[in-house]
Amino acid sequence: MNRKRISRGTMIGVAVLFLTPFIVALVLNRLGWHPTATRNNGVLVQPPEALGELELRTRSGTGIAVVNPDHRFTLVVRLPAVCDDACMQRLDELYRVRYSLHRHAPRLAIALVAPAVMPDLPEALNVLDEGSVDRLHEASPRFATQADWSGLLVDDKGFLMLEFPPDLEARLMRRDLGRLIK
């Protein structure tokens, strides 16, 4: 009798230990609590906008395929009309965000909508030609109304999925990109 009681107590203890996390998660979800650490810093585009088979070109003539089999994301950033020292510092931060992705850096293409006169940039930062900018504006109204230093992230299937506000710190943008690009 004593042995049977111990076995029953062990079984009940294991069941309680197994079910407790599920019950706690259910209660927290019903109360509307969500962890803040898993939140995006960028604004999720709901629903994602399909851009189609959009082919972008840089001013040097290199093509950037938005829909690609290499699982490469494209970050489109609009620059201000005049690129001064503060602009160059922000561009350096943007370059460092891509560089900090280490082995995943080739999976992020950075496309800049920039003024006509630009200083020399690292080759990882691609300045789009006027035809590509026009195609972006036709593909989605978000590109036409994009503010200076705001970023729009397009996934490898050609969907506009995430918008980064202009005042977002580079480290927070890096955190979002690090979660997506793996």
Query: For each of the chain's 182 residues, which pLDDT tens digit applies?
Result: 688 888 899 999 999 999 999 999 999 999 988 877 667 888 889 899 998 888 899 988 889 888 888 888 999 999 888 888 888 898 999 999 999 999 999 999 999 998 877 777 888 888 899 998 898 888 888 888 888 888 999 999 999 999 999 989 999 999 999 988 88
50 Cβ contact list (under 8 Å, min separation 6): 158, 159, 160
The single-letter code of the amino acid at 32 is G
Determine the pLDDT at residue 38. Answer: 66
100 Cβ contact list (under 8 Å, min separation 6): 174
pTM over 0.85: no
